[in-house]
Amino acid sequence: MSLQVERSVSLKPYNSLGIDVAAAQFAQARTDDDVRAAIAYAESQQLPLMLLGGGSNLVLTADVQALVLRMSGCGIGILSDDAGHVVVEAEAGEPWHPFVQWTLAEGLAGLENLSLIPGTVGAAPMQNIGAYGVEIKDVFAGLTALDRQTGDVREFSLQDCQFGYRDSIFKRQAGRWIILRVRFALSRVAHLNLDYGPVKQRLSEQGIDTPTALDVSRAICAIRSEKLPDPAVLGNAGSFFKNPMVSAELIEQLRKQHADLVAYPQACGQFKVAAGWLIERAGWKGFREGDAGVHKLQALVLVNYGDASGQQILGLAKRIQADIKQRFAIELEIEPNVV
């Protein structure tokens, strides 16, 4: 078997929160054959199989009694280039931001608003990652996944993925599908999404009136760098809570007490509330207890100042959830996967 399996491996280098727990067994899959070998090995050892991408959307609360398989396969290629409409395919293990930068260097637009998001290509569809008005579903051209139940390889269309806000069939059927590679529909003619105010403001400050996709990417990288801590410097899993959807009636009630409430109307008639605003208004921004805390610049980000455990991070998150529910009658949902 070409798959190399190690025992009792610390996962601290493999999760962006920097939580130090051990995997009973650990391996890296660089090919489809490695993935199949890992499935067979885990079954032979009667071990659960846990998939790991970039570890940027993960809270590890205890040692993992499983074969942890890190998807490490890399490779990017252009599948078609027809009148400026370009389909690009990337392997699941490709780091997301370098992949976005590769597309921009190739003169391709579409992913610029998703710049500087941590994680891997294979993990992106699971969460339907999104930022600054763009989600994966907006640029999706298909993906290839392995069905662990049958061993078959299946091609997924946009409709098959059942994308929602930070949601997909892969998240709802957790553990069944192993995403192997993903395809994106990009363009050589930029159709920029500049609806997000801070992006337009940043470009204006730079004197850029007719921005390119690369200009937008650079502006977003600058904004994200100012707002969000670098996991390599301060452990974090990015946005820790989803922006909740609430009724128009509740919004009306809350605005009587909080005129500056940040909420955006949705087509369904509900409102999407900025979770970061709720947490900051409740006084949690900059809070620290031991090595678990809330970032001093971005209330939506929980951080590990050094040796916080997953249980401590999760405990803090639950306290914030309870407080927000009591103050605003809104339930916050944790965005990272808790293991």
Does any domain span residue 229?
A: no
Residues 67 and 88 in one domain: no
Residues 99 and 118: beta-carbon distance below 8 Å: no
Instruction: State how far Cα 278 lies from the chain centre.
Output: 21
Does any domain span residue 86?
A: yes
Nearest to 22 by CA among 69, 71, 60, 72: 60
Residues 34 and 91 in one domain: no
Q: Which residues of the chain have pLDDT under 50?
A: none
What per-residue confidence (pLDDT) applies to 1? 54
Does any domain span residue 193?
A: no
Nearest to 286 by CA among 219, 233, 229: 229
Does any domain span residue 194?
A: no
Q: Which secondary-structure segment (H or E) carries 255?
A: helix 248-257
What is the reported pTM?
0.86
What per-residue confidence (pLDDT) applies to 38? 96
Specify the residue for token string 């600054």. Answer: 132
**Could you tell me the CATH number of the domain that includes residue 11?**
3.30.43.10
Which residues in 194-241 belong to E strands, given as ranges?
Answer: 235-239
What per-residue confidence (pLDDT) applies to 197? 76
Residues 83 and 181 in one domain: yes
**Could you tell me the CATH number of the domain that includes residue 302?**
3.90.78.10
Q: What is the pLDDT of residues 47-100, one digit of tens each?
A: 999 999 889 889 999 999 999 999 999 999 999 999 889 999 999 999 999 999
Residues 322 and 247 in one domain: yes
Q: How far apart are CA 260 and CA 74, in angstroms?
A: 45
Contacts of 4 (CB under 8 A, 6+ apart): 27, 28
Number of domains present in the structure of the chain? 3
Residues 66 and 81 in one domain: no
Q: How far apart are CA 125 and CA 118, in angstroms?
A: 13
Residues 139 and 82 in one domain: yes
Residues 110 and 27 in one domain: no
Last residue of a domain, one of 120, 154, 187: 187
Specify the residue for token string 């601290």. Answer: 12
Residues 50 and 140 in one domain: no
Last residue of a domain, one of 187, 203, 222: 187
Q: How far apart are CA 154 and CA 145, in angstroms?
A: 5
Q: Are strands 337-338 and 58-59 parallel, antiparallel or unpaired?
A: parallel
Residues 62 and 110 in one domain: no
Q: What is the pLDDT of residues 142-168, one digit of tens each?
A: 999 999 989 899 999 999 999 998 899
CA angle 11, 15, 16 (to 5 degrees): 145
**Could you tell me the CATH number of the domain that includes residue 86?**
3.30.465.10
What per-residue confidence (pLDDT) applies to 37? 95
Does any domain span residue 201?
A: no
Last residue of a domain, one of 44, 71, 98: 71
Residues 325 and 233: beta-carbon distance below 8 Å: no
Does any domain span residue 331?
A: yes
Residues 306 and 260 in one domain: yes
Give the structural domain span for 242.
235-338
Residues 241 and 329 in one domain: yes
Q: How far apart are CA 23 and CA 68, in angstroms?
A: 6
What SS3 class is residue 224? helix
Does any domain span residue 212?
A: no
Contacts of 184 (CB under 8 A, 6+ apart): 87, 88, 89, 90, 103, 110, 111, 139, 140, 141
Q: How far apart are CA 106 and CA 121, in angstroms?
A: 18
Residues 23 and 9: beta-carbon distance below 8 Å: yes
What per-residue confidence (pLDDT) applies to 232? 86
Residues 156 and 137: beta-carbon distance below 8 Å: no
What residues are annotated to the active site? 166, 239, 335
Beta-bridged to residue 17, according to DSSP, are none
Does any domain span residue 110?
A: yes
Residues 87 and 34 in one domain: no
What SS3 class is residue 23? strand
